[in-house]
Each structure stands twice: as structure tokens, then as C-alpha cells.
A and B are shown apart, each in its own frame.
Chain A
Amino acid sequence: MFDDSNIIAGLEIGTSKICVVVGEQLAEGGLNIIGLGQSRSRGVRKGEIINPEQVEEDLRAAVFEAEQMADVEVRSVYLGVSGGHIRGFNNRGVHPVVSADREISQDDVDDVLKNAKAINLPAENTVIHAVRQHFFVDGQEGVMNPVGMLGARLEVDMHVIHGHANRLQNIIRLVRGTSLEVDEIVFNGIATSLALLSNEQKEMGALVIDIGGGTTEYVVYFDGVIRHSGVLAVGGDHVSNDLAYGLKVPLSRAEKLKMEYGSAQVTDAAKGQTISITNELGLELKRINVEHLQRIMSLRIEEAFRLIAQELEAVGLSNYLRAGVILCGGCSRVPGIVALAENIFQMNVAPGHASAISGLTTALDQPEFATAIGLVKFGSLKNRKRAERPFFKGFIGRFLQRT
């Protein structure tokens, strides 16, 4: 019924849920979301797999649901990866132009890109993305395409995202074990910002924070290119755990309380208010102070934001974010989180909406699915590149993959 090459699937194995989004590449270049499947994830902690068997089971359920809905068979996926081991940093590659007429050729560009990727990583780490930022020709900044220009010295700035090779392999093997092919692995933060940011926002400078169940990813765009990225292995799970500890309730109860009474800031209404937890017979088991609940939550979320703010301060990017902060992920549903983030970052904060994609509107509105939708978008960009410009591989696009 469909030509297979038009079907793109994104798979995110998160700490709280496994999510599959199926998209259809339209002939005119657009992208249509046709299927969505999700299941509760039980074998993942802080973005990393701890129980492969359970993950496999949950993964099959999610894929099945998405296939049913889209009425296609998912053969390969773009796989999102995260975890505290993933780091991003900027690196510069240098290449002297040796040709007699000093004209920069495609070979020179390839060489300088290779140099920029030759970085000193720990032996066990591997590069996930090496994203080109800008070229420099004899020190002239901001060159996007140096081929054909004259110069003696060609440099390029790259943003390199790397992670622990074995842990990345683990998740790839697990997906392959369910007879799905992995097209490519993509850092979740990049996928999320693809789904949420418009080109204008990328130009103006924006910070995307995806607060998931086990990890928080953050990516900074400025001047249209990625400037900084990172993962903080703190997420909604930590909030629940803090509540379970602080209020002395079981974890499952803490999750429910978080959903029902949670707030990122202590609200006036909560002051002095208590709620009683009852058992199945309606007898009171325990009284919980809502103010404490909200204080514990707000401290944890505030800390996560502060750590990110400090990091941006350290790399000197906090004054470049004119488009402000965009929040997504399950935790962005917490009431009052926007106000809290505005307080800490001192800039405009908005919840993210997946834009420039048509299809199931109910799915697109939810902040939890931004990453999986971004994965599909990433795949469609790759596909388009492959189809339209087979000779300029990776030249127009920004995503370079070292495999």
C-alpha cells in the first residue's frame, strides 16, 4: 500500500515510557504523522537500560500499537539516545590550503571536517554527532560554504556530541534484537529541538530543556547552529523519589500525589492545606501536608534549572538566548514550572509545540512526544538529502554522522 522508503519511524526508549512515532514522507517534501504507539517503560533508569528483557517486551508493545494505528510495518527506526554519559563540546579543526591557486576545493572541506572530528576522547567513548557550525577562511568568520573561495587557511567549528560506546551499543543491540533495523542513533536533545524550534528561533538563540522521567537534556541554538548540549541525569523520577522519601509514602503513591497536587512553586493555596490518604475501605492512613509536597518538588526542579543555568553561564551563552527557553518533556506539565524557569533564567519561557509537521494533532500537542516526533523529522531530513542531492552528501545539511 505504501512505498517503504516513505515511512519513517522514530523510537525513543525513555525512563517513563517507550514511544514510537511513524511518519510518512509526502512527495512534495512535507511530513505527515500517521501513527503513534507508546507503552510504560519498566526497564530503564536515568535513560539507561537496566533490564533488557523488560525493555524488549515494552518495546514490542509500543511498536505494535504504532503499526496498528499507521497500518504499516515498521522495519527500521531512528533511535533516540540519552543518559548521563553523553556530553557535548565545541571543537575547531584547521587545514592549510595547499593548492597553487589557493582556491578551496571540496577535498579541503572534507579534510578540515576530518581534522575537527579527530579529537581526544576517552578510549571508551564514541562520537554520536559532529555538527558543523561555521567555517573560517583566513580568520574570516561565519562562512557557510567555503568551496570556491580563496584562502590559505581553512578552519571549521564543530559541535561534537559523544557518549559511552558500550552503553550506546547495548541499546542498539536490544532494538536490533526485536528485528527492527536502526537507521541511525540521534541524541534526544537534538531530536527535540528539531521538533520544537523554528529556524527563526534557532537564529535568535534558544535553549531547549527536555525534562523527562530519568534525564534532562538541554540544547542551545544560536546563529542557526547548535552551540551547546548536555544531559543532566535528573528527571521526574527524582521528583517522585524525593516525595516518597520526604513524605514517607510508597513510590507509586508519590507519583500519584505528584500528578495531582504537584507544583513547581509553593502556591498560596497550599499553605497549611493537608490531604488525607485513605485505604480501600476509606479509612485514613496518613495526612500529607501539601505545602511540604510542593516545597520538595520545587527545590528539586529549581536545582535542575540552576545547574543548567550555571552551565550556560560557564560557557558564556546565557546572554545570547533572545528567543528564550522552550520547555518540553513530561515534567513541563508541572503547574508553575514556566514561572519558576522564568525566575531562574530571567528570560522568556514557553512550553514547546511541535511545529511544521502535519498529522495527528492530539499527538503533536503533547510535550512528551516532542522527542519521538523530532526523530521522525530528523529521518525525513536525512531521506530528503539522500534522495535529492546524492552527490553533495552531508553538505547542505548540518548533521554529520560518524559511523
Chain B
Amino acid sequence: METPEQNSFLETSSALDVRIFAVGNAGSTLLGALSAAEFSGAQFTAINTDAAALAASSATVKINLENKLMRGLGSGGDPDRGRALAEEQFSTLKAACEGANVVFILAGLGGGTGSGVSPVFAKAAHEAGALVLAFVTLPFECEGNRREAQAQVALEQLKSTADGVICLPSQKIFKLIDENTSLVETFRFTGGFLVEGVRGVWQLLTRPGLIQVHFSDLCALIRDRHAESAFAFVEAAGPGRAREVAEKILAHPLLDEGRALAESDAVLVSLTAGKDLSMAEVNRVMEQVKRQCRHAQIIMGAGVDGALKEKLCVTVIAAKQNAAVVGAASRTEPRTAYSSVVPQREVTSPRPVSRMRRANNKLVQTQLPLNIISKGRFDKSEPTKHNGEDLDIPTFLRRGVPLN
């Protein structure tokens, strides 16, 4: 199944085969928001259990998972049904991903199709040899406990089957909208954020960059980090744009006002601007980001796009490794399913994919999420925060100064 062309794809990211799959109704809506012109070269596919909704979708390829059992009612908000349908059609799903390098999954978790089908589909895409990136939304709190719980379960499953999950809890959007925002607008807003994330990653992979972010960089960032990634996409124009962008990143609600950066252990930053992008600007933004995340591995890319003119766009993806989750992932059922595939792959190809699989087959000692850094006598007092840093934690620990 491994062809030489596929291998060479890894070296030349311009020839990447990227496919965007929308799962469920929410996914289709998100897909509708992506303009085909911007994503030239990508294949849009919609997967749904509801034939009527599928017909309305603008995707070029449509996969209907419906069968007679459902009597045209879709999954009815039940993820188990969605999962059953997807597993039934596993080979179809796998075939749809055959030959792709990167598969984007767009879905809204909480319902039947999005929560049920996405994890199975991610597994299928993975088995087909693609890097799987899932962009998902979590429901608003007001949507009820059941959807919340379903979404959480689905997110955990998705984390263990996809290579990277970028997740947007809709609840965070509340900070950004005002009292009078209508429901439709709110959903469009949420969708808009996710689409920005997709666009950011897409540009990262396809745009010719001055400082290129390679496909392999992205793999390195999200592989083995089966944890939530936080992302932010900010833009600014005018003379003080670098400073403005840096401030916006630090104040971005999706990054928890910069806290997500401080906690992350790998950060990808991609800057895109018009032809006048200066080294000083790149430097200023990177310095701010670096100051936030001292312990993180930082990958940066910079690109020029004439169409942007005055604007400076920055995409930040922060991945956090969660030891408990890594351990959990090795325990869940879908992972063990790979064990039969792995040996073959390792013999036939030295692809970076195998590195990850090998790593995941190793036994991982799980860690309890104890707060090891004690704040001593300041344990119960109000923390002294300065630019997202907790000054109560000993300086030498924050600076990582070795004492030996």
C-alpha cells in the first residue's frame, strides 16, 4: 500500500494531498463556511447519516452512512448508532481516505453523527495512512448534560484515534459575544473560529513560506501528543501590527489569556503578511510567544502573501502533553487494533508514522496529575500573576536553572 510517490510527498509539501471531511450536520455547516477557492487542491467530502441533510451539502463527494435500520431518521442524537453505522461502513470510509496525506475532520461533538462517526472515521483514515487532524466544537453548557457527556466521551475517543485534535469549547465563546448576539450569529461565530483554525493550518502547509513549516514539522508537533491543542488566529494591520498581534495572542480567550501557552510543551507559530513583512516584526512576535512558553518546543514559520497587503496574520497552535491521557490512549480499544498492522508497516516503510506507532506500543507509566511544584507558604494565598507567570513559584524553577 506504500508507493514511492507517497514517500516523496513528505519531502515536498506543495504536492500534499489534503482532504477535508465534514462529519454530521454541524460539520457540513462548517464545510459550507470554507470557500473552495481558498482551499484549491483540497477535496471536500461530507459524511452524514441523514440523507436529506447530505443532499443540501455543498461538498463534492458525499458519503451516506444511512441504512434501512434507521428509516431515514439519521442517528437520532445517539452516538452509539452513529458508531455502529460507521463501523458497518468502515471499508468505505477507509477507501475514501486512500492516498491522502492529510485528512481534516470537521465535526460538532455532542450529537449522534459527529460524536459517533468521527472517532471511527479518524481510525479509518489513520489506517489508510493519512495524518488525521480533527477540528471539533464542544457544545454550549446550556445544551444539556447529555450532549456534554457525549461530547466528552467522543473527544476522548477522538484523541486516541486521531493524530491531533483541535477542540473549541463553545462555552469559551461567551466571553466574546455580547448580550444581543443572536443564536444564529453565535453559531456562525463559533464556526468562524474553527474555520480560521483550518485555514491557518492549511496555509501553513500549502503557502510558500520564507521560513517554511514542513509537513513533518506539523507531524512532529502533534504526533505523540494526544492531548488537546489550543489554537488562535489573530490578525492586525497598520504600523504597530506586530505589537498588536502579540497583545492579541496573549489576551486571546481560546488560549485562556496566554495561560495555555505557558502550560503547553510544543507551540507552532505561523506568521503571514504582505511583502513588507520585516524581520523585526517576526522577531517581536516570536519574542513575546517565547517569553510565555519557556519550556515549549517552538516551531515557527513565516510566509508572504501579496493579497494580505497591510495585514499580519498569526496562527498559533499550542499542544499540551498530558501523561494521563497518553496512558489512557494505550489502554483504549482502538489503539490495540493497530498492533496487527504495525509490524508490516515497519518492514515496508521507514515513514515517520511508524515512529509514533512504535512509541505508542511501548508501555507508558501513567502519572497522577499531582501538582508537584508546591508553592509552600503561598499555597493558599492569592497567586501573584505577572504576564501569565505565577511569581509565587520559585524563580529558579520557572527559569529551569539546574542545581547540581
Contacts and interface: CB of A to CB of B under 8 A. Distances in A.
Given A241-B376, A292-B403, A300 B381 contact: no
B384 A300 contact: no
A302 B391 CA distance: 13
17 contacts: A46-B381, A46-B382, A50-B381, A84-B384, A232-B386, A238-B378, A238-B392, A241-B375, A242-B395, A246-B397, A251-B376, A289-B403, A292-B403, A296-B396, A299-B399, A300-B396, A303-B395
Interface in B353-404: 374-378, 381-382, 384, 386, 391-392, 394-397, 399, 401, 403
Contacts, number: 62
B contacts with A: majority SS: loop
A241 B397 CA distance: 12
Contacts of A289: 403
Given A242-B394, A242-B396, A246-B394, A251 B377 contact: yes
Contact of B378 (A45, A295, A299, A302): A45
Contacts of A232: 384, 386, 391
Chain A: number of interface residues, binned into ranges: 20 to 34
A233 B384 contact: yes
A302 B399 CA distance: 12
Interface in A274-293: 289, 292
A147 interface: no
B394 A245 contact: yes
Interface of B: 374-378, 381-382, 384, 386, 391-392, 394-397, 399, 401, 403
Contacts of A98: none
Contact of A295 (B374, B386, B401): B401
B169 to A, nearest CB: 27
B394 A296 contact: yes
Nearest to A242: B394
A246 B401 CA distance: 11
Nearest to A233: B384
A246 B404 CA distance: 11
Given A45-B378, A299-B396, A238 B391 contact: yes
B121 to A, nearest CB: 48
Interface string A234-270: 1001100110111000010000000000000000000
A50 B378 CA distance: 11
A307 interface: yes
Interface in A62-115: 84
A236 B394 CA distance: 12
B376 A245 contact: yes
A45 B377 contact: yes
Interface of A: 45-46, 50, 84, 232-234, 237-238, 241-242, 244-246, 251, 289, 292, 295-296, 299-300, 302-303, 307
Contacts of A307: 386
A379 to B, nearest CB: 31
Contacts of A233: 384, 391
A300 B394 contact: yes
A241 B386 CA distance: 18
Contacts of B403: 246, 289, 292, 295-296
A313 to B, nearest CB: 14
A242 B382 CA distance: 17
9 nearest CB pairs, A to B: A242-B394, A233-B384, A241-B376, A299-B395, A300-B395, A292-B403, A303-B395, A45-B381, A299-B396
Contact of A241 (B377, B399, B401): B377
A242 B378 CA distance: 11
B324 to A, nearest CB: 25
A310 B273 CA distance: 29
Nearest to B378: A241
A190 B53 CA distance: 69
A303 B401 CA distance: 13
A186 to B, nearest CB: 23
A299 B391 contact: no
Nearest to A303: B395
Contacts of B399: 299
A296 B403 CA distance: 9
A307 B398 CA distance: 15
B376 A246 contact: no
Contact of A234 (B374, B376, B391): B391
Contacts of B374: 245
Given A237-B377, A296-B394, A300-B395, 11 more contacts: A45-B378, A233-B384, A241-B378, A242-B394, A245-B394, A246-B394, A251-B377, A295-B401, A299-B395, A299-B399, A300-B394
A299 B401 contact: yes
B382 A84 contact: yes
A246 B396 CA distance: 8
Nearest to B398: A303
A325 B178 CA distance: 47
A241 to B, nearest CB: 4
